[in-house]
Amino acid sequence: MSVEEAARLLSEAIRNGLRREAEQPRIGVYRPSLLPSCLRRQFLIYKRGIIVSEEKAGLFEIGCLFHEFLERTFRDGGLTVKAVEAPFFIVSLCGDELIRISGRADLIISLNGEDYIVETKSIRNLPREPLKHHVEQLQLYLAGYGLKHGFLIYLEKSFLKNSIFPVSFSLEDFRRLIDRAALLHRHLTGDLTPEPDAEKWECWFCEFKEECAENPGGGGGQAFLTEKSSKICGGEI
Ligand code: SF4
């Protein structure tokens, strides 16, 4: 085998490794990392199956490397790491159907006898404040584990500088996210495209930005339902 062929083989192995991260979403099982994002985007992801480009899968892998780094660093520093990639389910009722929110908390650590969820985010520039969608994601982890407090840890990609933000459980935020899961569920089961409710930056990274931008009313005559106008679960669409 030539060196060039060997290099191609290595490159192929890396590409295949990233492809393995693609996973199909299931209607009725919702994700903490997606729930805060644009309702229309989530709808399309569930209807068509998630599109994980190699770049996004790469970002996911980078995230895993950061989790491993933090776990090792905390253990080496004498902290108690109780769980890594800790799975959980939250089950809720939507009318007479069960829906689930399923995810994995990056780390659960124990400090002075109290448990905390740690959610790690790798980021290009450290934020001054925690990002809203990350706080909401953490709220679901806290609810899933019945914990009061957690930490959002941002790690800057180039030099691993960090910003750490404590986050406390908010019943109000949790209720809103559960309602949002129910709303998404009703759109999906009713096959009704929701109105977009993205923050501007979300559209820059969205898999569906071209068709959404081309057709801002969306869905060519399909019915729309907004969070404000709808009666969530058990109501009429
Ligand atoms: S382009 Fe923006 S508004 Fe449209 S689906 Fe994507 S995130 Fe939502």
**CA of 58 relative to ligand 1 center, distance in Å:** 22
**CA of 176 relative to ligand 1 center, distance in Å:** 20
Going from N- to C-terminal start, the domains of the chain cover 13-214
pLDDT at 233: 37
pLDDT band at 153 (very low <50, low <70, confident <90, very high): very high
Q: Which CATH class is domain 13-214?
A: alpha beta
Give how far Cα 144 sits from Cα of 81, 91, 100, Å.
18, 9, 11
Residue 97 has pLDDT above 50, yes or no: yes
The preferred substitution site among 35, 37, 40, 47 for testing ligand 1, maximizing ligand atoms within 8 Å of CB, is 40
For the ranges 59-68, 117-126, 131-140, the lowest mean pLDDT is seen at: 59-68
pLDDT band at 5 (very low <50, low <70, confident <90, very high): confident
pLDDT at 20: 56
**CB of 209 sitting under 6 A from ligand 1:** yes
Question: What does the CA dihedral 10, 15, 18, 19 come to, rounded to 10 degrees?
Answer: -140
pLDDT for 206-234, tens place per residue? 888 888 874 444 443 333 333 333 333 33
What phi and psi values does residue 199 have, to the nearest 5 degrees?
Answer: -80, 155
**CA of 197 relative to ligand 1 center, distance in Å:** 8
Residue with tokens 């109105």: 195
CA pair distance 60, 38, nearest whole angstrom: 20
CA pair distance 75, 180, nearest whole angstrom: 37
**CB of 123 sitting under 6 A from ligand 1:** no
For the ranges 1-5, 39-43, 54-58, 171-175, the lowest mean pLDDT is seen at: 54-58
pLDDT at 55: 57
**CA of 30 relative to ligand 1 center, distance in Å:** 18
Residue 192 has a CB neighbour count (10 Å cut-off) of 16
